[in-house]
Amino acid sequence: MKKNMGSTDRIIRVVVAIAFGLLYFTGTVSGTFGIVLLVLGVVFLLTSVVSFCPLYFPFGLSTNPKEKS
């Protein structure tokens, strides 16, 4: 699994994941939409930690400057 995410992409994902978590845990969003945002936030955090986005792979995309062609 080659890293296909650059540092800017990772930082943005972490910030968005934190925002989704805050929206859910403060009660701003709830119900099904809140759970969807929470799951999406967890996915964003996981992909940031491993620096690999599975959706980038089939399209050959990369935000990692070392992997750009």
pLDDT at site 14: 97
Whole-angstrom CA distances from 44 to 30, 34, 50, 69 are 19, 15, 10, 25
Q: Residue 60 — very low, low, confident or very high, per pLDDT cuts 50/70/90?
A: confident
Q: How far is CA 59 from the centre of its chain?
A: 17
pTM of the model: 0.85
User: Is the pLDDT confidence value at 63 over 60?
Assistant: yes
pLDDT tens, 2-43? 889 999 999 999 999 999 999 999 999 999 999 999 999 999
